Amino acid sequence: MDTQHALARATLSSGKALRLARISDPATRRAHIVPMDHSVTVGPLGPVDHTERMVSLLARTGINAVVLHRGRINHVPVDAFSSIGLIVHLSAGTSLSLDTDAKVLVSSVEAAVRSGADAVSIHVNIGSHSERQQLADFATVARECEALGVPLLAMMYARGPQQSGPSSAATLAHLAAIATDLGADMIKLDYAGSPAAMQAVVASTPVPVYVAGGPTISDDAAIALGAEIMSSGVAGLSFGRNVFDASSPVRVASALARIVHQRIGDTERVAALA
């Protein structure tokens, strides 16, 4: 186990530690998390039974958790969560908004816990017109998480009028610093573009970093990207569209889960899985 993860775990309350063990490997804090909160932003992800069917399929692939909005959980059978964790997303914004970078809180940590959440997540767009409010919401959620012993996954992005193109390693490290300072237990970031650049980001924060999959690509490309990202020393992946929109979601999710949970430094086996 590396020092970064040991230090992160040492500061966790017992409640957070227990819940984190349900959504990540207790020894390494490694996890493959599949976000499926996109429907608030872009509309339905598929037919009426899409979430129920997809969660049930993914539960057999070795992934650690899914991210859903609170209302959507009511339409997924309880037994679908028997082998994977549940992260309830508290932020929302739509592609129909006059400000598509705006995010507001649409639920609370307490409500998420009542829904059975193992953790909660928030989305923060740094550089947006509403950055000030999003940071205030982050602080509010972090305080609630601390009081209730609930892990917080912060999805951090540089988005706004002055942001263009992929985020640099320096920008991603700044996003990670914000999340760390405001109380996140897990941080989701975009990929820095290369293992070396991503490794520099990881080295800048004591909080485990999980990397987004980005735009939809082919199944094989998604698996190869996952292997490349994991070689940088991040704690795991948070691939959404490249799993649930894949030609074979089960194949992609299973391969990525195996890659995530290989021993640190076991590069030959990781490469073979790609």
- By three-state DSSP, how is residue 231 classified? coil
Q: What is the pLDDT of residue 9?
A: 47
Q: Please check the confidence at residue 90 and state whether its pLDDT lies above 80.
A: yes
Q: What is the pLDDT of residue 11?
A: 54
Q: Does the annotation mark 16 as catalytic?
A: no
Which of these is catalytic: 16, 103, 188, 210? 188
Q: Please check the confidence at residue 40 and state whether its pLDDT lies above 80.
A: yes
Q: Summarize the confidence of residues 7-17 as an average pLDDT.
A: 66
Q: Does the annotation mark 210 as catalytic?
A: no
Between 210 and 10, the higher pLDDT residue = 210
Cα–Cα distance, 15 to 248 (Å, whole number): 36
Which of these is catalytic: 16, 103, 157, 191? 157
Whole-number average pLDDT of the chain: 91
- For the entire predicted model, the pTM comes to 0.90
Q: What is the pLDDT of residue 12?
A: 63
pLDDT digits (tens, 9 = 90+) for 172-219: 999 999 999 999 999 999 999 999 999 999 999 999 999 999 999 999
Cα–Cα distance, 194 to 54 (Å, whole number): 30
Lowest mean pLDDT among 89-98, 137-146, 261-270: 261-270
- Band of the pLDDT at 260, cuts 50, 70, 90? very high
Cα dihedral angle (63, 183, 90, 92), rounded to 10 degrees? -100
Q: Please check the confidence at residue 6 and state whether its pLDDT lies above 70.
A: no
Q: Please check the confidence at residue 98 and state whether its pLDDT lies above 50.
A: yes
DSSP state, residue 46: S
Q: Summarize the confidence of residues 32-52 as an average pLDDT.
A: 93
CATH topology of domain 3-54+63-210: TIM Barrel (3.20.20)
Cα–Cα distance, 102 to 91 (Å, whole number): 10
Q: What is the pLDDT of residue 29?
A: 84
Question: How would you write 110-124 as a 3-class SS string?
Answer: HHHHHCCCCEEEEEE
